[in-house]
A and B are shown apart, each in its own frame.
Chain A
Amino acid sequence: MIKVKNVWKIYGKGEAKTIALKNINLEIEKGEFVMIMGPSGCGKSTLLNILGLLDVPTKGAVYYKGRKTSSMSENERAVFRRKIGGFVFQQFHLIKTLTALENVELPMMLDEKDKTYRRRKAKKLLKMVGLEKRINHYPHQLSGGQQQRVAIARALANDPKIIFADEPTGNLDSKSGEVVMNILKELNEKGITIIMVTHEQELTRYASKIVKLKDGEIVEIVEK
């Protein structure tokens, strides 16, 4: 479903030049649970952002279902992020001035869904992540684990095919982390492709494929 061909990402020029990704080649099939692993600064987030069309490669190409996405216009990429991908971040990145319900509604608002549909769907999603009693809470009134579950509900709002998760358990205690991982696992069982960045070894038990990165290069791909 996703094909990465000879992708490079280079920041800066001359002395300050950083090679974040070096000649990456990768294929991801529908329904996989992919984990991108490696030490801090090895390029995991950079790779995930490129896969999720939040960023563009310096060199090389990315394809989604045979379509070259790396050369799409900014607007076309926005449509992809809205309809096909859903992002979950380590820092949750909820909008602080909006309630849980409104945060989940936001991607549907961007997709011009009507109000009653949005409300219903957002409530359903929050119920699914076990937060039906917290829908009118603001982010600061929620624990980290709860915030991350809101973020997952938000990522699911427009029925994405792929979830891009950048260290979703990185800021959570192990118990909340497990809740989050179990939700992702369930989603994967329903057919949603999960691409997740982590550096926690014990989480690899959820993965169907592990991509190991070091200094911007793929050192190993493990299929399970």
Chain B
Amino acid sequence: MKIDDIVAFAFKNISKKRTQSMLTIIGIVIGVLAMVSLISLGYGVQNYIKEEMMKIGSNKITILPMKQFGVPPSHYFTKKDVKAIENVKGVDAVMYGWYGGCEIEYNGEKKFVSYYYAKPSQLKKVYKGSGYEIDEGRWLSDNDKYACVIGYGTAHDLFNREIKIGDVIKIKDKKFRVVGILKPVGNQQDDNSVLLNIDIGEKLFGNEGKYNFITVTVKEGEDINEVANEIKKALKKSFGSDDFSVLTAEQLAETVGSVLGVITIFVVGVAGISLLVGAVGISNTMHMSILERRKDIGILKALGAKTTDILAIFVVESGFLGLFGGMIGLILGIVLAKFVESLAHKFGYLMVNAWISWELIVGVLIFSFLVGVVSGYFPARSGAKLNPIETLRGE
């Protein structure tokens, strides 16, 4: 039998039994739906973070007082370390300060936010063009004391009453006047923030002379990786150990990316299991369907069909069942991912993005076709071996 005839014959069988075919492919639909939406969102978030990191600056180096993320640092940077870094060739501006979490009070309500403090002029210089831009009011100046700049979320979302320029918020029972509000950056941690001048921040939080981050901009035309290496050397001397990390935007993106990659593999694994269940479903229904069509197999054999013709008809049929399941699952998966994306954007999580590409679409379709073929193979093989006389006898 020719391949186009086999395909046409298989199609005919599927379309004649639409309801049964639909039931057969539900498992595949769900598996593919889960897989597509998870992959799409997983990669979308990853890509967004990478892009954002690149935006923050390909000329920036971040230095943290610990070897790994998530591990609390055992000691902090001091003025001496800052000096050492400032003396490294190729370093332009050096910003140092502290970030952490604290409670702020406004209009009788208390909310938790993240806070940053650094020297305002440095902050401005280092973060220029990185998405940290003033939406309303003004930036902090080096002379400001009890003044602060707050994130978009802190101003508009956090409290029952929105905070306006000139309003007063309380941090550690001290009053601060809001002089500026930042534009939204897209993640909650950064949007629900408050920025202070280092002079007052140090005293307020009791970390005088200690810094838990240093950010450096590199002079134009300098090789960022080389500068990063020089900083490492200089810091090792002044810091007295190598319990710190020197990260370029690229490295940062990779680190975050690999963490997300692990999560992605996990969710894809879960989706894979549901797909496997779908495959067992197809296999089972193919088996039933072949039992139902024992007679047709006998007729085909009596008409001179080879065993391989019959095998091919059923395998192609289940392959197409898989493919149809994959197509429906793909469409639903994309719709779901897009829905989650728009929902997340509505709530300000700009990092949640649906990533859809031709590779994903084609890959999923080929994959679901193969799942169909594999799950149809064994029942088809036993069907193709049926004895025509047995199947045609009786009635």
Point out residues on A near B: beta carbons under 8 Å: 49, 54-55, 74-75, 78-83, 87, 89, 91, 93-95, 97-98, 102, 106-107, 109-112, 154, 158
Contact = CB atoms under 8 A, between A and B. Distances in A.
Nearest to A102: B12
A97 B392 contact: no
A97 B12 contact: yes
B306 A81 contact: no
A105 to B, nearest CB: 9
B78 interface: no
B356 interface: no
Contacts of B13: 97
Given A55-B389, A95-B296, A95-B299, A79 B304 contact: yes
User: What are the nearest 5 A-B pairs in CB distance?
Assistant: A82-B304, A81-B304, A97-B16, A107-B303, A87-B302
Given A97-B12, A97-B16, A112-B1, A87 B303 contact: yes
B290 to A, nearest CB: 14
**A49, A75, A87, A110 pick with most chain B CB within 10 angstroms:** A110
B122 interface: no
A54 B302 contact: yes
29 contacts: A54-B301, A55-B389, A75-B306, A78-B306, A81-B301, A81-B304, A82-B304, A82-B305, A87-B302, A89-B302, A89-B392, A91-B395, A93-B295, A93-B298, A93-B392, A97-B12, A107-B304, A109-B1, A109-B2, A109-B5, A109-B9, A110-B1, A110-B300, A110-B303, A110-B304, A110-B306, A111-B304, A112-B5, A158-B304
Contacts of A49: 389
**B5, B298, B304 pick with most chain A CB within 10 angstroms:** B304
B301 A78 contact: yes
Given A55-B389, A93-B295, A110-B1, A81 B12 contact: no
Contacts of B304: 78-83, 107, 110-111, 158
A75 B1 CA distance: 13
B259 to A, nearest CB: 53
B388 interface: yes
Contacts of A98: 12
Contacts, number: 66
Contacts of A75: 306-307
Interface of B: 1-2, 5, 9, 12-13, 16-17, 295-296, 298-307, 309, 388-389, 392, 395
Contacts of B303: 81-82, 87, 106-107, 110, 154
Contact of A93 (B16, B302, B306): B302
B93 to A, nearest CB: 76
Nearest to A92: B299
A101 B296 CA distance: 17
Nearest to B393: A45
A14 B303 CA distance: 34
B369 to A, nearest CB: 23
Nearest to A80: B304
Nearest to B385: A74
A110 B307 contact: no
Nearest to A106: B303
A173 to B, nearest CB: 18
A34 to B, nearest CB: 19
Nearest to A76: B306
Nearest to B387: A55
A110 B305 contact: yes
A70 to B, nearest CB: 15
**A79, A87, A112 pick with most chain B CB within 10 angstroms:** A87
Nearest to B17: A97
A112 B2 contact: yes
**B2, B302, B307 pick with most chain A CB within 10 angstroms:** B302
A60 B248 CA distance: 86
A79 B308 CA distance: 13
A77 to B, nearest CB: 9
Contacts of B1: 109-110, 112
**B2, B296, B299, B395 pick with most chain A CB within 10 angstroms:** B299
A85 to B, nearest CB: 8
Contacts of B301: 54, 78, 81
Contacts of A110: 1, 300, 303-306, 309
Nearest to B307: A74
A49 B300 CA distance: 15
Contacts of B305: 78, 82, 110
Contacts of A82: 303-305
A94 B39 CA distance: 47
Contacts of A158: 304
Given A78-B306, A82-B304, A93 B389 contact: no
Given A82-B305, A102-B12, 20 more contacts: A49-B389, A54-B301, A54-B388, A74-B306, A75-B307, A78-B301, A78-B307, A81-B301, A81-B304, A82-B304, A95-B296, A97-B17, A98-B12, A106-B300, A107-B303, A110-B1, A110-B309, A111-B304, A112-B2, A158-B304
Contacts of B306: 74-75, 78, 110
**A81, A98, A109 pick with most chain B CB within 10 angstroms:** A109
Contact of B389 (A54, A74, A109): A54
A224 B8 CA distance: 48
A115 B13 CA distance: 19
B390 to A, nearest CB: 10
B59 to A, nearest CB: 66
